[in-house]
Amino acid sequence: MSELTVGIRELKARLSECVRQVKLGATVVVTEHGRPVARLVPEVNSVEERLDLLRAAGAILWSGRRLAATTPDVRPRSKRGRTVTRILVENRE
């Protein structure tokens, strides 16, 4: 996948061409004063395609294993071990 870098001014002048390149699979990095501020990437349809793009960009790492199921703590507690309900009751008194 190719990557193009364009300044904001150039993007304004060549927007149609840049969008055409993105449709063909390229990524366009938009810069402002030489610093990247935005990225135009091709639209993907499935979650798998999105994950593949993130993996290819190095944004995520995954071993491929399934994650273990977790159960939420239905009674959150403060650092002192008091429940949120107890704290609310104490504040109302």
Tokens of 9: 């001014």
Dist CA 67 CA 28 (whole Å): 34
Residue 80 confidence (pLDDT): 76
Q: Hey, what CATH class is 1-61 in?
A: alpha beta
Task: Give how far Cα 93 sits from Cα of 74, 86, 87, 89, 90, Å.
Answer: 24, 11, 10, 6, 5
Q: Enumerate the domain spans of the chain.
A: 1-61
* 69, amino acid identity: A
Residue 93 confidence (pLDDT): 74
Q: Regarding predicted confidence, which is higher, 77 or 34?
A: 34
- Per residue in 10-30, pLDDT tens? 999 999 999 999 999 899 999
- Per residue in 40-88, pLDDT tens? 988 877 888 888 878 888 888 877 788 788 776 666 666 777 777 788 8
What's the length of the chain? 93
Q: Regarding predicted confidence, which is higher, 93 or 91?
A: 91
